[in-house]
Structure 1
Amino acid sequence: MNRTARAARGVSRPSIFPFGDARLGSVTVIDTIEGVEHHREALEHLAENAAHPNPFYESWYLLPLLKASKSKQRLRFLLVHGTDDSGSEAPETLIGFFPFEQTLLHPLCPVRCLRPWQDAYRWTLRRTPLLRYGAVGNSLAALGRWLLARQHPPTIILFKDLPGDSEILRAAECWLTEDHRLCHVHDVRESHLYRRQTDAETYFARVLSGKRRRHLRRLRRLLEDLGPVRVADLDRSDDVDRLFDEFISLEFSQWKGKIGTSMASMPDGAAIAKDILKEAHRRKRLSLLTLRVGDRLVAARSAFLAPPGCFGFKMAYDESPPYARCGPGFLLDLEGIHRLHDDADLLGTGIEWLDSCAVKTAALPLSMRTEALLLHRYMVTARGGIGEIVTRRFPKVMQALPWRIRRLSAF
């Protein structure tokens, strides 16, 4: 099943899952970058047929960051091969990809766990596993059997960024409810979703008050007083190297550069970011919307296309006083929403929503979103022993500690 359609070794004991069969899947553990590269073609096919897209775990995005992070992490990437839930696929089909890294649950709690892999730059903005459409149940059933069969730590697995109202979340809830050999704890955090409405005016009427819309029109007039305003998306005829350099430099010049979190602030970050953007552009998966006053770039926003959705990556805007007071970031977001509904180059036909990939408190996506995006996370282990004790008590203990200690948690 392709993206458009998605938008519209065996086990001896029987599975107890009504939604999936552990006998129809086997788990392979990869702990080297070379191992991931060996399965690159299968991973790309899986991403094209995923139940829920996640460009940040696709090979073209993951491998450059994986190579930059290789000396700092213990990789435990799990590949699940098997058939789909109906049994119609070949048993050697890749139906699940769970990129994990082995780490401590917390520096003060020396219990090992597997958590979703995160790159050294923190650019892996969503850590939803790639699971084949129609085979989510078998993927999770096989993973559960693998976890129960382990004789050595780590015996705790963490799942993050399972989107609300998705096939993955529903299957995970069923799996963890029905398999009484496992115990888990559950938590939810919030991000922001831009969902297409019937037209742009309906969208704005839903998310913006009349007063707010008048204020944004006033900001647009103030910006036009500084020079001719032009909004454009990346075109095949553009000098992409120059444009990417401008974008990276603009981000470095703002507050992200001052606190050391911009692309150019990281060791080799600018070069790696540029390679990723160029590869996304080559695959026709990149939107880079820019706002210029004259020839000056004053705002830019990048996103990766993954039908039926789109995922925000990096955004930058000019913080010098004449431009910052005009709210160029908000004005660029307005244009992006127009293009979402006009099927222009920003998102294109078949894109129904944009995941901002922003934190709950981010001002711009909070003001423009149509709805909260609920992202679920789970801590899962086998019943009995130290794993269950830690799993049940760890979140409550963390809640009682100061934020500076809590933030070191792997969960």
Structure 2
Amino acid sequence: MDAGGLQPQKHATVFYETGDRLCLNSSSCAQILPIAAIDSELLSAWQKLARNASEPNIFYEHWMLGPALKHFSVHPELCLFLFWAGAPCKSDLLGLLPVGPTWQLGRWPVPFVQNWGHHNSFLGTPLVRSGFENQFWTALLNTLDAKKWPGFLHIRGLTVGGSLDRALRSVCARQKRRCDLVHSVARALLESDLDAEAYFAETVRSKKRKELRRQAKRLSEIGEVKYSCHRDSTGLTLWIDEFLKLERESWKGQEGSALDCSGDTSSFFREALAGAAACGQLERHDLRLDGKPLAMLVNFLSPPGSFSFKTAFDDAYSRFSPGVLLQLENLKILSQPDIDWMDSCAAQDHPMIDGLWSGRRHIGRFSIELKGMSRTALFRTLRLGEDLMARIKRREIIDIMQEQT
């Protein structure tokens, strides 16, 4: 129980429907709110939910999701699913998930319902108040069963093995609906009781540690090296300008994937950082040589977790590994008392961060059956096809390996 005195309900059964709400146990309400209807009235409850979330997810906090919805393409039927303790906006918000219909699953023209994300969103775990995980999934699934959106539910970016994964599987088992983990990746996670120096010594082999110390020494021989960490909005606009320029001039700019390659992504980045700073959730690191930025790093904090969002470094100084040197400074997050872990938000098998962080976080995609004969038929046909394709692919890999031996 938190300071608000809320107690998780053991069961949440829909008993009537009115407009865009499904009301549960005569008090709790599930609401489908169109994106266009989001206003400041929701803000306070949203912030309180994020502070009490079972699993932190900065990508669905208001200061991150708001700019994303503003600058990136969204389907007209995209909504916020909101789970309230009582009347909407007059009670505590217990859960939130952006969700809506789509009609393309990979290369296949398949209709289904999916939680929303974008190219710079690296987690899709819903915001759910701790202790209400089962009630949230029950409300969401019952709401989608009643709504006329097509197909099945697809949840991307859910932490595998976390409290929300366990609750989802439990609810689906109780309701006798299939819930399949269809894909997962393992990405680097920083989590340890050690301090930065001890973690570095334990995780990184001695030869690599020696090489990094040599690179740091050589860099200091060129000019004045300075590491900085900022946790407020002082000089933020100029800092963002420098970050975007540094990233644009790197290999990311050459490939067209830098944030500043698009007005929408650069505006999103600026607004998200400003919003995070206003909420005290932004942490910025930089490594400078005679005042010139060689590496810059953006972290977002959502205690007890944190997220390493974006990094940029000067390719001209790659022989000194400035990005890695800055990540060594980032290990000091281990000493921050309110932070237990940091998600790298990196791709699986990342060549740099995987060698520095020994922990792994498994992130999965789940397909969940919705009620209705046509929905069930579509879901089971699709899953049968996916399983068949996976078996064929595994067989091809085995054949190739046998040929090579």
TM more than 0.5: yes
The equivalences for 1:22-101 within 5 A come to 23=25, 25-35=28-38, 37-70=40-73, 74-82=77-85, 92-101=91-100
Instruction: Indicate the residue corresponding to 1:126 in structure 2.
Output: 123
- Is 1:389 the counterpart of 2:380? The answer is yes
Instruction: Indicate the residue corresponding to 2:146 in structure 1.
Output: 149
Asked whether the 8 Å contact 1:55–1:304 carries over to 2, the reply is: yes
Structure 1 counterpart SS, 2:248: helix
- Is 1:117 the counterpart of 2:146? The answer is no
Distance change (3 Å), C-alpha of 1:375 and 1:272: closer
Moved more, 70-79 or 224-233: 70-79
- 1:336 aligned residue (324, 330, 338): 330
Asked whether the 8 Å contact 2:232–2:283 carries over to 1, the reply is: no
Structure 2 counterpart SS, 1:198: coil
CA drift of 1:41 comes to: 2.4
- Structure 1 Cα separation of the partners of residues 378 and 28 of structure 2: 25
- Structure 1 Cα separation of the partners of residues 106 and 306 of structure 2: 35
Moved more, 160-169 or 384-393: 384-393
Instruction: Indicate the residue corresponding to 1:370 in structure 2.
Output: 358
CA displacement 1:379-404 (0-9 Å, x = unmatched): 011364323324422533554799xx
- 1:248 aligned residue (244, 249, 255): 244
Instruction: Indicate the residue corresponding to 1:207 in structure 2.
Output: 203
- Structure 2 Cα separation of the partners of residues 359 and 139 of structure 1: 29
Instruction: Indicate the residue corresponding to 2:398 in structure 1.
Output: none
Structure 1 counterpart SS, 2:103: strand
Asked whether the 8 Å contact 1:73–1:102 carries over to 2, the reply is: no
Instruction: Indicate the residue corresponding to 1:326 in structure 2.
Output: 320
- Structure 1 Cα separation of the partners of residues 153 and 291 of structure 2: 50
Distance change (3 Å), C-alpha of 1:324 and 1:229: same
Distance change (3 Å), C-alpha of 1:375 and 1:400: same
- Structure 1 Cα separation of the partners of residues 389 and 30 of structure 2: 32
Asked whether the 8 Å contact 2:153–2:370 carries over to 1, the reply is: no
State the AA in 2 paired with 1:395: E
CA displacement 1:355-374 (0-9 Å, x = unmatched): 00111022122111121111
TM-score (norm 1): 0.83
Asked whether the 8 Å contact 1:280–1:286 carries over to 2, the reply is: yes
Asked whether the 8 Å contact 2:60–2:97 carries over to 1, the reply is: no
Asked whether the 8 Å contact 2:15–2:24 carries over to 1, the reply is: no
Instruction: Indicate the residue corresponding to 1:409 in structure 2.
Output: none
Instruction: Indicate the residue corresponding to 1:183 in structure 2.
Output: 178
The CA RMSD measured in Å over matched residues stands at 2.7
CA drift of 1:149 comes to: 2.7
Asked whether the 8 Å contact 1:147–1:155 carries over to 2, the reply is: no
Q: Equivalent pairs: percent with the same residue?
A: 26
Distance change (3 Å), C-alpha of 1:102 and 1:136: same
- Structure 1 Cα separation of the partners of residues 363 and 175 of structure 2: 22
Distance change (3 Å), C-alpha of 1:390 and 1:77: farther
CA drift of 1:10 comes to: 6.2
**Count of residue pairs the alignment pairs up:** 372
- Structure 2 Cα separation of the partners of residues 134 and 294 of structure 1: 51
TM-score (norm 2): 0.84
- Structure 2 Cα separation of the partners of residues 396 and 233 of structure 1: 48
- Structure 2 Cα separation of the partners of residues 70 and 37 of structure 1: 22
- Structure 1 Cα separation of the partners of residues 233 and 117 of structure 2: 34
State the AA in 2 paired with 1:389: R
Instruction: Indicate the residue corresponding to 2:396 in structure 1.
Output: none
State the AA in 1 paired with 2:133: V
- Structure 2 Cα separation of the partners of residues 79 and 104 of structure 1: 23
- Is 1:271 the counterpart of 2:270? The answer is no
